[in-house]
Amino acid sequence: GESVGLHLPTLSVQEGDNSIINCAYSNSASDYFIWYKQESGKGPQFIIDIRSNMDKRQGQRVTVLLNKTVKHLSLQIAATQPGDSAVYFCALPTPNSGYALNFGKGTSLLVTP
Amino acid sequence: GAGVSQSPRYKVAKRGQDVALRCDPISGHVSLFWYQQALGQGPEFLTYFQNEAQLDKSGLPSDRFFAERPEGSVSTLKIQRTQQEDSAVYLCASSLPAADTQYFGPGTRLTVL
């Protein structure tokens, strides 16, 4: 089956620094990728997505980079703020299951003042 | 507008009891998904509805798990004869069509004693 994994389970950064969260995937046919943020006691919240015909997409303070050659994507958060502290998941929709999302284990981001 | 809501937010059950978890999706959303999230893990797909039709239930861990969406809006996930391994957060998500962005509810935390 599809394997979605993250390189680091935890990441601690200082407020104001940039954060980079990585994700590897195994299915080279995957064509759509999503990043979700999950705060404690809440459901996952959509952050940004990217399709396989792009290698970079920018949002507000966030950038997603996609490297299809090595099957890797990353989420970059600029000027990290305490409110960014959460668990971040990359997720891949599975078309043969109604586009149900296949999540990785997640990276816990802790922003220290 | 209102997001996805779930009730109850917390449920404690004794082993062997039956439980029913409710999901109210965003109005007009055709697709509805249930996920199970164990502590420290990413959400895992359980089942998927398109309107009232349950199109995929491949993720349900056993025949003790049953989901329904009889009128194509509210959905209920029922777990019979609960076991300790059923303890998890149960997340519901909805989307317009299945391939669109999924919006998650806050989840129901089930603890089986």
Report which of residues A45 and A99 the model is more confident about.
Answer: A45
Read off the pLDDT of residues B11-58 as tens digits, 9 standing for 90 and up. 999 999 999 999 999 999 999 999 999 988 999 999 999 999 999 999
Taking alpha carbons only, the member of A35, A40, A5, A21 closest to residue A78 is: A21
pLDDT at B98: 67
Q: What is the pLDDT of residue A95?
A: 79
Nearest chain A residue to B90 by CA distance is: A43
On chain A, the residues whose CB falls within 8 A of the CB of B59 are 97, 100
Read out DSSP for A11-75?
Answer: EEEETTS-EEEEEEE--TT--EEEEEEE-TTS--EEEEEEETT-SEEE-SSEEEEEETTTTEEEE
Q: What digits encode the pLDDT tens for the residues A89-105?
A: 999 998 777 789 999 87
pLDDT band at A2 (very low <50, low <70, confident <90, very high): very low
Tell me which of A6, A32, A101, A102 to substitute to probe the interface with B (most B C-beta atoms closer than 10 Å).
A101
Q: Which of A68-72, A88-92, A104-108 has the lowest mean pLDDT?
A: A104-108
Q: How confident is the model at residue A28 (pLDDT cuts 50, 70, 90)?
A: confident
Q: A59 — contact with chain B (CB < 8 Å)? A: no
Convert the pLDDT of each residue in B62-97 to its tens digit. 999 999 999 999 999 999 999 999 999 999 999 997
For residue B106, the chain A residues in CB contact (below 8 A) are 41-43
Specify the 3-state DSSP secondary structure of A2: coil
